[in-house]
Amino acid sequence: MILGKNVIAQLLGKDRLGNYFALVKIKGKVDPRIELLKNGLAWTSEKNPAQELELYRLEAQQKKKGLWKQENPVPPWTFRRQQSMLKPKSS
């Protein structure tokens, strides 16, 4: 979606791991978050999702687009927790 395109990135801060996060716009107008959500290709945040983004996710879910075609799609945070529980604990 953004490969080879001009984008504008507005740095918003850092997450708890120190990774930067930003608001990205394609050609200064198109928000890829919205496009991904509309097509059922993304999740909103687990905790305190932005209401304006949540509406796009709900619409895609109702229309059974993208990942919402699955009967019980697993959110990425649940998948990561499940994977970390499978790993042996290091001493």
Q: Determine the Cα–Cα distance for residues 78 and 24; give it in Å rounded to an integer.
A: 26
What pLDDT does residue 91 have? Answer: 61
Say if residue 66's pLDDT is above 90.
Answer: yes
Q: What is the dihedral of CA 5, 8, 9, 10, to 10 degrees?
A: -170
Which is more confident, 32 or 89?
Answer: 32
**pTM passes above 0.85:** no
pLDDT single digits (tens) 5-16:
999 999 999 988
> pLDDT tens digit string along 18-58?
999 999 999 889 999 999 999 999 999 888 889 999 999 99
